A and B are shown apart, each in its own frame.
Chain A
Amino acid sequence: MRVTIQPMPGIPLEVPVGEERSTVLEALTRRGVSRRRFLQFCSAMAAALALPSAYGPRIARALESSPRPILLWLEFQDCAGNTESMLRSSHPDVAEVVLETLSWEYHETIMAGAGHQAEAVIERVRREHKGEYIVIVEGAIPTAEGGIYCTIGGKTALQIAREVCSDAALVIAAGACAWDGGFVASGPTGAVGIGQAVSGLNLVNLGGCPMNSANAAAVLVHYLTFGEAPPLDAYRRPLFAYGHLIHDQCERRAHFDAGRYVEAWGDAGHRKGWCLYKMGCKGPEATFNCPSVRWNDGTSWPVQAGHGCIGCASPQFWTQMSPFYERLPNVKLIGLDLDAQTIGLGAVAAVAGAATVHAVGMGIKKRRARAAAVAGEEPPPAVEPQPDAPPEAPES
């Protein structure tokens, strides 16, 4: 179906709607991205998702045929750090494929329109694309005193979150505050994450302060390819990004195993890139793919730059990981892999909790309109680790 709209004054246009909306590949072609580069991106995304390389072409097929999805980015009690992370995406290809091929219709920090013209965008998307659009939430949601601690256009964040997220096909919580309230949860405003503010969502939590935009891209690609979120842990975080200890992926790990530690800032060991464990690094207890994905075009990450990990992708990290300069207890120092394994299991247990949620059930329920576009694509099995029962807690 085609309808005539007037997107800009004086420029009437006949445009396709519904099934004829342009696909991701069409949008890319318009942007001058070659098919070869597109396929490279799909392979990179398969690698990021820890899928076998054979999934690269399947991702490509799905993206070629899926309609350009609509994205609303909502900001509540936020610092825009996740927005900035997205704008400074660590993979330019991600930026081109995801940022410019989504129909990114609402995002206060960068959208052209303001005031009621901006709010009208949300109303239109809710009306015309109910159950189809994707929402990214940034920032916590205050629930105390009727939600008066954050209003936009005279409405509370809580009201907006309920109205907009309830009709979304997929909701992504970007960063610590949107996930579990972050440090805002320690304040007096009753701040919670989106999953606590609105129940029953098809939700993916991307912890981190900020989140790493490469992971957001991989989640979106997985969703567009398979019609559901990638396998999740008990916190609804994707296992591909949050399933492995920092410590196990760390480039300084060999120094830990060999007993070579930084003892004082700027000492000879610090200048040689030795292990930061004694300076308070939380890598042995924190899970995230920070060391492999890195930041800003894969340039670096905090431990490479010389400072310990603060565990910013861990649950309630502000209270659970601070004090940041005190060494972790219960880590035996002279390089024993056995100890690290024990720690690893303990951390996974903490992450996984008593139950492991697999996305398939939820995903099938929530497929809605998206399913038609990706018929025939079956999601891959979950990547490890996927503990079904919590291992024993680490010795305390």
Chain B
Amino acid sequence: MAKVIIDPVTRIEGHLRIEAIVEGGEVREAFSSGTMFRGMELILQGRDPREAWLWAQRICGVCTTVHALASVRAVEDALGIEIPPNARLIRSIIAGAQHIQDHVIHFYHLHALDWVDVAKALEADPAATARLAGSISDWPTGSTGNFKQVKDRVATLVASGQLSLFASGYWGHPAYQLPAEANLLAVAHYLEALEWQRDVIRIHAVLGGKNPHPQTYLVGGMASAVDPASPEVINLERVGFLRERVQTMRAFVEQVYVPDLKAIAGFYPEWFALGAGHRNYLSYGDAPTGSIHDTGSYAFPRGIILGGDLRTVHPFDQAKVTESIARSYYDYSGGKEEVRHPWNGETKPNYTGPTPPFEELTTDAEYSWLKAPRYDGKVMEVGPLARVLVAYASGSARIRSLVDGTLAELGLPATALFSTLGRVAARALETVYLLDLMDGWLDELTANMGSGDLRVHDGTRWDPSTWPAEAEGWGHHEAPRGSLGHWVRIKDRKIANYQAVVPSTWNAGPRDLQGQTGPYEAALVGTPVADPERPLEILRTIHSFDPCLACAVHVIDATGRERSRVQVR
């Protein structure tokens, strides 16, 4: 028996530590720990709710924009504001661009090095690599000359002795199974994706002024004015610029990302049978085609899958969300046994871990700065796989054809989705789905401009004197990493209480009072570990979730000093 400790888990956002008990060459038990806490629970109180989004967005710079969106939706819900169609479209385009860019970055820059051995790329034959590239895609950079250049670059990097960010990888690990040429292909696309992501995210600069942290949200709509007759704001020329970026996105996703995913996954079929975990999946749903309150209009449906049973989609009721702190570094007024709904949440830090510097966590007691969210007492996984499964089980025709087509190509049954590579595949498939939606949103925005609808903001409730003395609301968003919710209570025109429950808290959270493991912890059980000194396989499953720990630790939270009620429509 060996204890494997990975701290820091790199190629993620934030500070994550994994401790795993390895026995007989596989993980018997795992512990997921968030090791950083910022504790912002008090700072939003007393502030103007119209600026909550500017603060909340700073929860995370990787998941930039998603907390801004959830925040304005929460305040709009509280104040009964319906935003104009153009504002909905601009928000959707920003969110879609974030999603697509984020998923590609995750695949190449955060996850690929778990499957791709950079050192082995040096053994590749550029001509054979070009043949491999040509067999899976007609992407224009797949020439012998280009692959030779990339190989030379890797070789000179190695020869320089200064390997930079590649210095400490698990190169040569027996779990790397790609042929040399597939490694070289992936390294070439790793570099190309770096350039690609810089260009396509200019969509955020046009609509939001900058990325990270776009700055044009407003409670009631958007500050990105629209006028085909004005050179200063969003006009047809700028929509054309956005359209070009979406075309660039589509080309790379369809001709590089998806073919690479299928090619790499084809060499690791056993990873479609590993890493499932509890098989409970939750999606709040998103991408409304009308009012946010018309949940039936969402392009990503809302619902719950239990135990991997795709025949039934259970309805979601946010009243059944609770959080346990039994194994977390917090106290509740009612003691460690208590569970609390977010409306009634408390964040009272009480670190009980070992004194640093330390070697091991006290995993038989509290061991994480994350709380443990549960739905109706059950552990839930959120994220791309959850969204795709809920959409699939709900009968979404486009998602069904994408999923069934991919499974058929890889010769896999539907149950293969409940796995480490199932998460990776679902992420790619929903990216394709989003590209279609992006085109539709741009068409709609163009049509609105043509018909003279230039509204981007509903200002009837901008002036705080129009607000009721008290108001409560919640805003939700399907962020790239999963279901995100913000709750707000407004009193005397100020924020009285604010709380965010975030995707990576669902996925990376620790055990609860009953001892139920969190999704990461459950997914790791049974993971093979060939070399405990170099636990590459553990990183594969953890990275398949795309962890974001800055989000996961409650940064903006309720104080819970008094019970608040949230109206849910």
Contact = CB atoms under 8 A, between A and B. Distances in A.
Interface of A: 5, 7-11, 13, 15-17, 21-22, 27, 30-32, 68, 70, 75-85, 87-89, 92, 95, 102-105, 107-121, 140, 142, 145-157, 159, 182-184, 186-189, 191, 209-210, 264-266, 270-273, 294-297, 299-307, 310, 318, 322-325
21 contacts: A5-B161, A7-B167, A9-B171, A11-B158, A31-B153, A77-B38, A80-B60, A87-B194, A103-B162, A110-B110, A111-B165, A148-B353, A159-B357, A182-B58, A187-B43, A210-B212, A264-B459, A273-B225, A297-B202, A322-B48, A324-B48
A266 B198 contact: no
Interface of B: 5-15, 35-43, 47-48, 50-51, 54-55, 58-62, 64, 109-110, 113, 118-119, 122, 149, 153, 156-172, 194-195, 197-199, 201-202, 204-216, 218, 220-227, 230, 232-233, 349, 351, 353-359, 454-457, 459, 462, 534-535, 539, 550
Given A13-B161, A266-B225, A305-B215, A152 B8 contact: yes
Nearest to B550: A79
Given A11-B122, A30-B153, A296-B205, A310 B54 contact: yes
A296 B211 contact: yes
Nearest to A107: B165
Given A114-B8, A266-B457, 16 more contacts: A77-B38, A104-B165, A112-B169, A114-B6, A114-B168, A150-B37, A152-B8, A152-B15, A187-B41, A189-B39, A273-B232, A301-B210, A305-B208, A305-B209, A305-B224, A324-B54
B455 A266 contact: yes
Given A83-B61, A84-B212, A301-B209, A113 B40 contact: no
B62 A80 contact: yes
Given A81-B64, A210-B61, A265-B459, A154 B358 contact: yes
B544 to A, nearest CB: 15
Contacts of A272: 227, 230, 232-233
B540 to A, nearest CB: 12
B148 to A, nearest CB: 12
Contacts of B55: 183, 318
Mostly, the B contact residues are loop
B427 to A, nearest CB: 18
B231 to A, nearest CB: 8
B504 to A, nearest CB: 13
B215 A105 contact: no
Given A151-B356, A154-B356, A187-B40, A15 B159 contact: yes
A151 B15 contact: yes
Contacts of B159: 13, 15
A77 B110 CA distance: 20
A301 B122 CA distance: 42
Nearest to A9: B172
B201 A114 contact: no
A81 B226 CA distance: 28
B51 A114 contact: no
B206 A302 contact: no
Given A9-B119, A82-B61, A113-B170, A150 B36 contact: yes
A27 B160 contact: yes
Most buried by B among A31, A82, A264, A270: A270
Shortest Cβ-Cβ A-B pairs, 3 listed: A81-B61, A113-B168, A273-B232
Given A79-B60, A266-B225, A323-B47, A22 B15 contact: no
B456 A265 contact: yes
B202 A87 contact: no
A113 B169 contact: yes
Contacts of B534: 117
Contact of B14 (A80, A84, A117, A182): A80
A87 B200 CA distance: 13
B69 to A, nearest CB: 15
B15 A187 contact: no
Contacts of A301: 209-210
A295 B205 contact: yes
Contact of B215 (A76, A80, A112, A310): A310
Given A15-B160, A266-B457, A296 B198 contact: yes
Contacts of A150: 15, 35-37
Given A115-B7, A146-B355, A305-B215, A88 B39 contact: no
Contacts of B462: 264-265
Contacts of B11: 108-112, 114
Nearest to A262: B225
Given A104-B164, A111-B11, A149-B37, A81 B113 contact: no
Most buried by B among A31, A84, A266, A302: A266
